[in-house]
C-alpha cells in the first residue's frame, strides 16, 4: 500500500537531521547521486535570469547547482511537504546568504507554480507523491513553451526477477519507498503532456533521468 502524506512527513521528519549523510551512503553502493544531480540540472537547459522550481527539494541538495545555473538575477524556489527537511534547506540558504532562493512548505499536489517559469526539477521525490500526475500536468502548463521539466528517480529495472525488486523496495523503505510507489511511472505522465520527452536509464535500469519540453502550441 502507498503511504499517506502524514506517514511520508513522519519519515522525513525523522530523517531530516542525517538526510545528507545517509543519502551519500548510497554512493558506496555505486549510486552516483552527485553526478546524477548534476546531469539532471544540466538537462534543464537553464539560462541566467531564469526561474526554476525544485519539487520535493528536501534539505536543498540541488539548490547550489540550480542557483549557479540561473545566476544572481535568477530565482530558485524549493517546495517540500516536510517542515524539518525545509528547516535544513533554510539553514543552507542562510549559511550561504542566498537572496534569490525561496522555500515553500506545501504539498506539491496543491502547489501553484509561479509565472513566468523556465524550469521544473524533481529528484528522488516525484514517485512519493500519490498525485504525481497532477503535479506533472500543472508543471507542464506553467512552464514557458519549450522549457523543461526534469525528473530523476528510482524505478523497477526491466528483466530482473521479482525478488530483486522487493529487495530494492526493502532497502529504500526508510525513505518512504513502497511497492506501490516504486511501480508508479511518472515518465508516462510526462509523455502525455510534454514534447520531445527523453529518458535515460541509470544504475542498471534501477534509476532514470527523464526530461521533456512544455508544448509550443497549447490547445
Ligand X SMILES: C[S@@+](CC[C@H](N)C(=O)[O-])C[C@H]1O[C@@H](n2cnc3c(N)ncnc32)[C@H](O)[C@@H]1O
Identify the residue among 65, 101, 103, 108 touching ligand X (CB under 6 A).
108
Q: What is the DSSP letter of 116?
A: S
- The sign one gets for the Cα dihedral 128, 133, 135, 136 is positive
Q: Does 85 bind ligand X (CB under 6 A)?
A: yes
**Residue 198, helix vs strand vs coil:** strand
Q: Does 8 bind ligand X (CB under 6 A)?
A: yes
Of 133-162, binders to ligand X (CB under 6 A) are: none
Sort residue 31 into left (φ over 0), alpha (ψ -120 to 50) or beta: beta
Identify the residue among 41, 43, 57, 214 touching ligand X (CB under 6 A).
57
User: CB atoms < 10 A from the CB of 33, how many?
Assistant: 19
User: What minimum distance in Å lies between the beta carbon of 150 and ligand X?
Assistant: 12
Nearer Cβ to ligand X (83/145): 83
User: What minimum distance in Å lies between the beta carbon of 40 and ligand X?
Assistant: 9
User: What minimum distance in Å lies between the beta carbon of 20 and ligand X?
Assistant: 8
Identify the residue among 63, 93, 128, 142 touching ligand X (CB under 6 A).
128
Q: Does 129 bind ligand X (CB under 6 A)?
A: yes
Cis omega (within 30 of 0) for bond into 116: yes
User: What minimum distance in Å lies between the beta carbon of 145 and ligand X?
Assistant: 26
- Strands of the chain, DSSP E: 51-55, 75-80, 101-105, 119-123, 148-154, 195-202, 207-213
User: What minimum distance in Å lies between the beta carbon of 172 and ligand X?
Assistant: 9
CA 91-119-63 angle, to 5 degrees, is: 20
Identify the residue among 80, 133, 153, 213 touching ligand X (CB under 6 A).
80
Element (H or E) spanning 103, and its range?
strand 101-105
Q: Does 175 bind ligand X (CB under 6 A)?
A: yes
Task: Give the interface with ligand X as residue ranges (CB under 6 A).
Answer: 5, 8, 12, 23, 56-58, 61, 79-82, 85, 107-109, 123-125, 128-129, 175
Amino acid at each position: 500500500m502507498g503511504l499517506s502524506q502524514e506517514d511520508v512527513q513522519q519519515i522525513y521528519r525523522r530523517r531530516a537531521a542525517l538526510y545528507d549523510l545517509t543519502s551519500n551512503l548510497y554512493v558506496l553502493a555505486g549510486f552516483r547521486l552527485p553526478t546524477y544531480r548534476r546531469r539532471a540540472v544540466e538537462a534543464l537547459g537553464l539560462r541566467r535570469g531564469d526561474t526554476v522550481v525544485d519539487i520535493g527539494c528536501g534539505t536543498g541538495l540541488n539548490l547550489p547547482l540550480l542557483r549557479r545555473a540561473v545566476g544572481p538575477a535568477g530565482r530558485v524556489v524549493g517546495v517540500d511537504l516536510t517542515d524539518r527537511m525545509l528547516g535544513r534547506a533554510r539553514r543552507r540558504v542562510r549559511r550561504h546568504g542566498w537572496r534569490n532562493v525561496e522555500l515553500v512548505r506545501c504539498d506539491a499536489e496543491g502547489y501553484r507554480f509561479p509565472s513566468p517559469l523556465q524550469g521544473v526539477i524533481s529528484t528522488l521525490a516525484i514517485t512519493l507523491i500519490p498525485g504525481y500526475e497532477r503535479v506533472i500536468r500543472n508543471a507542464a502548463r506553467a512552464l514557458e513553451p519549450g522549457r523543461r521539466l526534469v525528473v530523476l528517480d528510482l524505478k523497477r529495472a526491466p528483466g530482473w526477477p521479482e525478488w530483486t525488486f522487493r529487495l530494492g523496495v526493502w532497502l529504500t523503505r526508510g525513505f518512504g519507498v513502497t511497492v506501490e510507489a516504486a511501480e508508479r511511472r511518472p515518465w508516462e505522465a510526462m509523455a502525455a503532456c510534454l514534447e520531445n520527452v527523453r529518458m535515460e536509464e541509470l544504475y542498471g535500469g534501477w534509476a532514470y533521468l527523464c526530461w521533456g519540453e512544455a508544448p509550443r502550441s497549447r490547445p
